[in-house]
């Protein structure tokens, strides 16, 4: 909690928790190519996943830790860019440079989403997610922002910094 932004409203999260769900995709979403779905939902059945959300003027931050053992190296080679769809929401994910954390496999991505409602109005969203796989766990930090918001988003380095602090907390 102390690493979350000051003045943000904090709430607890309990799993299973999917990065895709945090980005705005409901159950039943699809990814193309399909193997990239594991990057958007690294612990799909972990009812023991726990985390926090913090919302404020710079966006909504999610920090989640769950059980996972995927090999992200192969996925990173296959999933430099992929798309996702769910009902009226679509998105494009792009892998970006991941933070280095000793003893952990890391992956990071940006996701741009678009939701079209019945009247044809479009809502756009942006998410930055970084994940670290270590000791049978995955730590996920996501920052969701709204392009065009009157408030500037949290600094881009915030997600990487918080991921490092989360991994340190997991390791004790």
Say which residue, 82 or 121, is predicted with more confidence. 82
Of all residues in the chain, the percent with pLDDT exceeding 90 is 66
The CATH class given to the 9-171 domain equals alpha beta
Give the model confidence (pLDDT) of 16-51 as tens digits. 888 999 999 999 999 999 999 999 998 888 889 999
Give the model confidence (pLDDT) of 51-93 as tens digits. 999 999 999 999 999 998 767 878 888 999 999 999 999 999 9
Contact 37, 126 (CB under 8 A): no
Instruction: Give the pLDDT of residue 29.
Output: 95
**Domain locations along the chain:** 9-171
- Which ranges of the chain would DSSP assign to H, the alpha helix? 19-23, 37-40, 72-78, 157-171
Tokens in use for 37? Answer: 């779905």
């Amino acid at each position: 909690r102390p690493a979350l932004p000051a003045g943000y409203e904090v709430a607890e999260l309990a799993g299973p928790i999917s990065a895709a769900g945090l980005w705005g995709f409901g159950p039943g979403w699809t990814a193309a190519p399909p193997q990239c779905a594991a990057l958007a939902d690294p612990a799909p059945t972990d009812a023991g996943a726990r985390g926090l959300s913090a919302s404020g003027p710079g966006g909504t931050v999610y920090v989640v830790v769950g059980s996972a053992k995927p090999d992200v190296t192969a996925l990173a080679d296959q999933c430099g860019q992929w798309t996702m769809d769910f009902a009226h929401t679509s998105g494009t994910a792009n892998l970006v440079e991941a933070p280095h954390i000793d003893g952990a496999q890391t992956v990071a991505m940006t996701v741009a989403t678009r939701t079209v409602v019945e009247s044809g109005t479009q809502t756009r969203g942006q998410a930055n997610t970084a994940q670290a796989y270590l000791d049978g766990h995955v730590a996920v930090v996501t920052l969701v922002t709204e392009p065009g918001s009157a408030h500037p988003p949290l600094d881009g380095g915030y997600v990487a910094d918080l991921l490092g602090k989360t991994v340190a907390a997991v390791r004790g």
